[in-house]
Amino acid sequence: MAIAFIFCLFLARFFYIQAIWEDDLHYLALDQWTREIPVVAGRGRIVDRNGEVLAANKTAYSVYARANAVTDPEGSAQLLSQSLGLSYDELYAKLTDKGRSEITVVKRTAKEVVQSIESYDISGVYYARDNLRYYPFGALASQVLGFTSYDGSGTTGLERSYDEYLAGDNGEILFETDLVGVDLKGASAAYVPATDGMNVRLTLDYRIQALAEEVMARALAESNAKAARAIVLDPNDFSVLAMVNLPSYDLNDIPRDDLDSLNLLSRNCIVSDIYEPGSTFKIVTAAADIEEYLRGNDRAFSTNHVFSSSRTRTVDGSQIKCWSDHKNGKHSNQTLAEALNNSCNPCFVDIALALGKNKFYEYLKAFGFGRATGIDFSGESIGMLLAESTVKNGDLARIGFGQTIAVTPLQLACAAAAAVNGGYYYSPRLVSEIYTDDGLTHYFVKEKFVGRTVSEEASVILSGMLEGVVRDGSGKKAYIEGYHVAGKTGTAQKYVDGKIAQGKYVSSFVGYFPAKSPKYLALVIIDEPQGTYYGSTVAAPCAGEIFRGIIDLMKIQPTEG
């Protein structure tokens, strides 16, 4: 009985080795009797919408060694030290480390260096082609593009989000060796080719990106601000044409030795950071009111309604003032269009309270607040929207004019676009196509419709009012004769530890043109400008400059009427 049991154990072990462990043992034997030279796959390029290369590769070479095959470690270490500028002692220690089948001598060195090493014909030392990621425009769109790690895999930005397409699959060349790793004479080599990565085409236009970065860099310096940001969208499908985060850094000179600085500079704040939007949010409140009036809601205000001349509103014991009347104490009766021109807070308090919590929250959700936009980029924030069940009248009143709610710049830009493009909300996108080097499309990223916000009629009415803001109101510094620019300014106080931080503001402007058929929409944000801090004087001029630049680039003719 015992003999039979032992026999069964041996039989089971034999079956395990022959049938189940076969692949692993085969791999171990292959590794022991072969030397592998890696064939590195070329990482795919990242190009803008017009094919301009934004991320590419430079050919470099990596040098490897098999200590068991190095016949003269002292002389080899000396020659390698001279060619590579590395420590002799460190190289000697590597070349005599018999415990490792293969060591990396150096990665990503120049072709000339490898040719010098090759001329020495050092036994046990070989090299392979490698890739060095290169960004032709340096700091352009750095937070969007992101960068790769030392081993070439995507670490941040689109390099990370689309790494599965960009990376490709490495190959190798296999040489037969003896037990100590010395090449066998007459043995043939087996070649496993690499599969290069695919290319990624963006919706970005590098010309608009460069233009916006230049404008925002100037604003950052002139206002001595903490940061300057901008996003340019096509309102018709929410494809991103430019995304600017300043200060920035050169992707070809990444500060890897200062992780705190790198984390700060590489953060795409347009997507990941939130802020109180202030008066730019009044676009959403106005859109909701206009749509509800058109639907016959008797609680909504008509476009001809004249709001109370009182310069304050008291809600739940808290007084809300109109910012523009602090000096003279006067306040005129106003229509909705005039309230937008003057950015009068009390009028939008009236709208939010009149529509009520349930109805107003329907619009907040339709405009994408409290959820991710769905952009093809990692790390997106959902913003901060109070749970509807917890909202009191005081909260609702302040949300109506852009307080007690925090949004990402991307959320606000998308909401504004969905208010003025006929009421259509799409998921924003940065990538339009994945394609191979031979021009074949692997994957086409189509526009993704999410839902309706308001009717086309409401959108047209609102757009007419916002054009008035630029022509006659607080957005005058974004005005361009003949191009029908529309938009809304915003100036929001910042909070630190739950309290208003004195002297700290976020100045912003969201605008678009042409008003009747929007083609370009831009949101500009200046964080903590020094001196003048109103959105009308700090942010609106930046949007005007960006629009003028786009007009020149695209050779857009003025619109009649």
Active site residues: 279
Listed in order, strand segments (DSSP E) in 187-317 are 189-192, 199-202, 227-234, 239-246, 312-315
User: Residue 66 and residue 126: Cα distance in Å, rounded?
Assistant: 9
Q: Please return the burial class of 503, using the count of CB atoms within 10 Å of its CB with bins 0-12, 13-18 and 19+.
A: exposed
Question: Following CA atoms 138, 144, 149, 154 in sequence, which dihedral angle do they give, to the nearest 10 degrees?
Answer: -130
N-to-C CA span, the chain: 104
Helix, strand, or coil (residue 258): coil
User: Residue 215 and residue 223: Cα distance in Å, rounded?
Assistant: 12
Got the DSSP string for 448-467? EEEEE-S-HHHHHHHHHHHH
DSSP state of 375: -
Q: The tokens of 210 are what?
A: 């460069």
Residue 479 host element (H or E): none
Tokens 């086409």 belong to which residue?
444
Listed in order, strand segments (DSSP E) in 203-261 are 227-234, 239-246
Q: The tokens of 339 are what?
A: 């309230």
The count of other CB atoms within 10 Å of the CB of residue 115 is 12
Q: The tokens of 213 are what?
A: 């970065």
User: Residue 166 and residue 434: Cα distance in Å, rounded?
Assistant: 9
